[in-house]
Amino acid sequence: MSTTTEFPWTDAYLLGYPPMDDTHREFVVIVSALLAADDNEVAGHLEAFAKHAEAHFAQEHEWMDQTDFPAAQCHKDEHNAVMKSVRDVQAIVATGNVEEARSLAKALKDWFPGHADYLDSALAAWMSKKKHGGKPVVLRRNLGLRDEA
């Protein structure tokens, strides 16, 4: 599991379906805030993440249902597992243990890139095909480039 509290947005996370990309940017911002939160702010940031995740996952579930996405159940199962963890951690944080929320935030940071690369990218491609008749086009800026000056 990652030990850093930084979780910056990168164009590597872009999938080419703008509504999903926008939601993923918000995911990164909210998890970043939870990672950096002071102890007295953790519960509020965890609640903000829970609300975001509920809406985020519900939107993706709706897209999957509306378009008969073939891998819907696997994708939904992963979302449901995340939400169970969030609810379990909220109960622990309510007792005063904020470290569990920090562990969850680190796990979310580690989980997100793989989830986006595999499950969400397939959904983004599916949605683009259904909506536009083709694969998404993704323009990513400055990935892995360093200034040589």
CATH number for 28: 1.20.120.50
Number of compact structural domains in the chain: 1
Whether residue 140 is contained in a domain is answered as no
CB burial readout 4-16, b (16+ within 10 A) else e: eeebeeeeebbbb
pLDDT tens for each residue of 46-77: 999 999 999 999 999 999 999 999 999 999 99
Enumerate residues 6+ apart whose C-beta is below 8 A from 103. Answer: 1, 89
User: Which tokens sit at 15?
Assistant: 């999938």
Domain assignment of residue 90, given as a range: 17-132
The confidence score (pLDDT) of residue 131 equals 77
Q: What pTM does this model have?
A: 0.87
